[in-house]
Structure formats: C-alpha cells, structure tokens
A = this chain, B = another copy of it.
Amino acid sequence: MDGVEMEPFKKRGFASDNNAGVHPRIMEAIAQANQGHVVAYGDDPYTEAAIRKFKETFGEETEVFFVYNGTGANVLSLQSLTHSFQAIICAETAHINEDECGAPEKFTGCKLLTISTKNGKITIEQIRPHLHALGNEHHAQPKVISITQATELGTVYLPDEITAITRFAHQNGLFVHLDGARICNAAVALNVGLREATRDLGVDVLSFGGTKNGVMFGEAVIFFNPDLARDFKFIRKQGTQLASKMRFIAVQFEALLTDHLWRRNAEHANTMATLLAREVRDITQVEIVQSVDANAIFAKIPQEQIQLLQQEYFFYVWDEEQSIVRWMTSFDTTEEDIMGFVSLLKKVLG
C-alpha cells in the first residue's frame, strides 16, 4: 500500500460498528474458501452449507437468501411483501426511513407511514390509526409493519412488545418485517436464541445483519413463511443484490453461526457498551438519554467540547440541536478503548 498515509488507521473510535474490520475467524473462512472453481451465483456447496446452518438455527421451513448489505436486505424484503399502492409503517427513526436515501420508496413505490417515538420503538396504539385507510382507494394501503431490533436508538424491544405487534399485524392482514442489522446484539440483550428473538415472536421476514457483527460484507434475508419467498430469487437478481462469487458471503455466515461466534461478538459489543455507560455515569456533564440495552449509547454532552473529543476518538453527533451524540461499540472494542475514552471524557468535561 505504498503512498497511503497509514496514520489515520490507528485511530480508534465509537462512530459505528461498521467502522470495525472483519473478525479473524471470518477472515480465515474467506481465505479457506478461495480454492478451485465453484459454480457462481450460489449454486455451490459453501452456500448450501451456510443455508443449512441457518435452517438449524431458525427451523427447517426457513428460506434464506444472501445479499450484499443491509439496505439491500431491507428494501428487497419490503418489495417481496408489497405492491406499489401499499404502505409500510415504521418508526420515524427507522433506518429504512432515515438512512437509505429513499431506497424503499424507489424499489417498492410504496409510501412510508412514519411514527414519531421517544426510544425508537413503536406500539400498536401508534400503528392503529394508520389502518383507517384500509379499503379506501385514495390512501396508500398499509401492508407491512417494519421494526428494528435492536433499534436505531440502541434500545431493545421486549419479546412481548414484538408479539403484540405481530399479532396485531396478522389480525389485520399485514406482515411484519424485522430489520435485524443488530439482531444478534438484541438476542444477547434478551438472553435468548436467534429463533426465539425473531421467528418465535411471529416475525415474517428478517433482515439478518452480519456486517455490524464482524462480517466483511453480506446480510441474509430470511423468510419464516416459505410462501413469501417464492419470487425472491428474481427480486434479488433484479435488485442487483445477487453476488456472483457467492461462496465468499456464504462462508462468512457459516463461520458466524459456528461455535456461537455471532453471540460472542455481540456479547462483547454489548458488554463494552455497558462498561462505557457505567463509567460515564459519574461524569455530570454526560447525560445518557436512551436505555443502553445493546451496543449503543446516546448521550447529551456539552456542544463546545464535541470536536475536541472527536479528534482523539471518532464518533457522530446524532442531534445537533440537542447536542446528543452516539457512541457505538463493536466486537473489536477493547477495555483499553473504553478506559482511554473515559479518561479523555473526564479530562475534557470533568
């Protein structure tokens, strides 16, 4: 890498769990898969093996499709559940609403009906009024409720909260999509398995996240109702999300689902967030504004010190007006990172 200024690489931070690299076990799996020829586009034994792991995890009737990234997983999931005249209900803070540059609208043609929340979680009381439109051709027809677990605000739905939504959805002819970019962190937080955290709660389709949990690239779309998956291979291909050298996505997930690597990575990230939260509670100028359920901390800190802090540890400002920042931990966050950051915080804000 001649000519590359290497200095910046050294910098650690709490900007995002996708600023981390790739877990060594996953990198190793990739390297091992790099031998000989296999059929492209997923008709290969690596992909078969990875799908088998998913079926062991979520149940036999599960249908699994690998895609490149979270936005792809989300919008193609939604496309498989909707017609253009329908609507998708979600939190205002949902990644599909806030962070995908309008991809859901472009891919599905649907309207997003958003719900303002305090903690990123929506309830059936908030969803219900949107169903008044059902049957009235002048209004986009609600068809999917999309929730994020863990949420974009670092909170985690309790199982009962999800069950209430899926039951309500199904009673009204709607589907439930779960954006699981951080589903592993949520399962760890709830101390349940992946199946207990998703399928068993009535979720119809899951965007299963890998990238934020140690994977290089790749997510999985998982259908718990095989009927819904019938056309997905076409939707994925037309949606530009079919990888030709599929084996290199598949083996990453095979590794992630082996020896509970998914759990160990997520557990570590969550633990680091808990540690950071505990350590900063003493600092009076730091006010934690969301429940620290998974691997994110949202904190209100004095605006004038933010830049100074960012010079040593990179992180994002979430809400400029309220001076709220976000600190994400990841599988590779170290106690040293936490302690270094805490002592910086104390020095700057103390």
Contacts and interface: CB of A to CB of B under 8 A. Distances in A.
Interface of A: 1, 3-6, 8-13, 15-16, 18-22, 27, 29-41, 44-46, 48-49, 52, 68-72, 75-76, 83-87, 98-103, 105-107, 109-112, 132, 137-141, 211, 216-217, 231, 233-245, 248, 251, 254, 314, 320, 332
A85 B21 contact: no
A110 B211 CA distance: 27
A31 B31 contact: yes
A72 B241 CA distance: 8
Given A68-B240, A243-B68, A244-B211, A137 B233 contact: yes
Contact of A84 (B22, B138, B238): B238
Contacts of A45: 4-6, 8-9
A221 B49 CA distance: 33
A36 B49 contact: no
B18 A36 contact: no
Contacts of A112: 111
A101 B137 contact: yes
A129 to B, nearest CB: 8
Given A9-B35, A233-B137, A72 B244 contact: no
Nearest to A75: B240
A84 B235 CA distance: 8
Contacts of A49: 1, 3-4
What does DSSP make chain A's interface, helix, strand, loop or mixed? loop
A244 B46 contact: no
B237 A85 contact: yes
A111 B10 CA distance: 39
Contacts of A27: 30-31, 34
A33 B132 CA distance: 33
Nearest to A3: B49
Given A68-B243, A69-B243, A72-B240, A140 B102 contact: yes
Which of A1, A20, A320 has the most chain B CB atoms closer than 10 A to its own CB?
A1
A138 B85 contact: no
Contact of A240 (B29, B105, B217, B241): B241
Contacts of A41: 137-138
6 contacts: A1-B29, A39-B314, A85-B237, A109-B238, A217-B244, A217-B245
Top 4 A-B pairs, shortest CB-CB distance: A102-B140, A85-B234, A106-B109, A72-B240
Contacts of A34: 21-22, 27
B52 A37 contact: no
Contacts of A137: 41, 101, 233-234, 236-237, 242
Given A36-B11, A49-B1, A238-B101, A216 B248 contact: yes
Nearest to A85: B234
A86 B243 CA distance: 20
A110 B102 contact: yes
A251 to B, nearest CB: 7
Given A138-B99, A140-B101, A240-B75, A19 B3 contact: no
A15 B41 CA distance: 12
Contact of A69 (B1, B211, B240, B254): B240
